[in-house]
Chains A and B, each alone.
Chain A
Amino acid sequence: MNGWSALDRFLRTDPRDVGCAQAMEMLHIYAELAAAGAQVEERYPGVATHLRACGPCGEDFEGLLAAVRDEKP
């Protein structure tokens, strides 16, 4: 990724973005559905948008997803 596209990505905001509070509230549901192969990005586009844009929430999601997948029978 070059500087132009990185800056463009940083400045681009999506009105569907639900913010950290709601994403954190729903993270366990979203992660479990994602681990089960559900179309979570279609079902919860605002959460998906947020998890792509917010580094810390995205990191928490990746960690929880890894934990859930590890637990799967």
Chain B
Amino acid sequence: MTEHITAVAGLDSDSAEWPHVLAGTGPRREEALARLHGLLLRIARGEVARRGPRLRLTGPELDDLAYQAAADALVAITGKLGQFRGESRFTTWAYKFVMFEVSAKIGRHFWRHPSVRLDAEDWERLPDRFGFDPAREAEWRDLLAALHRAVDQELTARQRRVFVALVLNAVPLDTLVIELGTNRNAIYKTLFDARRKLRAALAANGYIGDDGGRRS
């Protein structure tokens, strides 16, 4: 499905000036690059601080990550200046690349982390992944056994690998992107198709209703 952009903000003078100066040469461009880098670094620091509590990263690691993200975002922005169409403020467009770079850097960090298991399969963890209460196992045991069968029987090898990594092993999606040498959209689409197949299989066997509700 494609959605078209209908809202185009009036371009403010700063947003018109940024791409013009950055595409130029000489001291004005150098000054603009330094100023933009300062803005990107401030945003990157704020973003890693926002995400920090959920990451097992310490202060110096977070600051290093922010520096790398700001530097790589600056490279991305200067390489894509022609793609800025004035549909938002220039800084909003630029900060988007900071978010992408922070996500990518965090994904790479966990890719290097020895505790991240991409292909190991421990199906005993499945109930916990969805928050099923162990004390009420009798109520969900058959459902999760059916889900396991559907994963084995309905999914392609790639869909199965993505399901195991993301769901069973809780590997961050941006980490799996690096491991498989692909992009976020491709992984999401693979899991999207897998989810649809799994729902259809569970519904066909009476474990869930077609509307997603629980069959009692």
Contact = CB atoms under 8 A, between A and B. Distances in A.
A45 B1 CA distance: 10
Contacts, number: 134
Given A3-B132, A8-B208, A19-B185, A64 B99 contact: yes
B9 A32 contact: yes
Given A3-B140, A67-B95, A33 B7 contact: yes
B196 interface: yes
B189 interface: yes
B141 to A, nearest CB: 11
B58 interface: no
B87 A59 contact: no
A14 B46 CA distance: 33
B130 A6 contact: yes
Contacts of A31: 88, 92, 96
Interface in B66-124: 87-89, 91-93, 95-96, 98-100, 102-103
Interface residues of A, number: 47
A4 B3 contact: no
Given A18-B3, A63-B51, A66-B46, A3 B87 contact: no
A6 B198 CA distance: 14
A13 B92 CA distance: 30
Contacts of A2: 131-133
A28 B87 contact: yes
Given A19-B188, A43-B7, A71-B91, A13 B46 contact: no
B160 interface: no
Interface string B156-186: 0000000000010000111000000001110
Interface of B: 1-3, 5-7, 9, 43, 46-47, 50-51, 87-89, 91-93, 95-96, 98-100, 102-103, 127, 130-133, 140, 143, 147, 167, 172-174, 183-185, 188-189, 192, 195-196, 198-199, 202, 208, 212-214
20 contacts: A3-B127, A3-B131, A3-B132, A3-B140, A8-B212, A13-B192, A17-B192, A19-B192, A20-B185, A22-B2, A22-B3, A28-B88, A28-B95, A29-B7, A45-B3, A54-B173, A55-B173, A62-B50, A63-B51, A68-B92
Interface of A: 1-4, 6-8, 10-13, 15-22, 24, 26-29, 31-33, 38, 43-47, 54-57, 59-60, 62-64, 66-68, 70-71
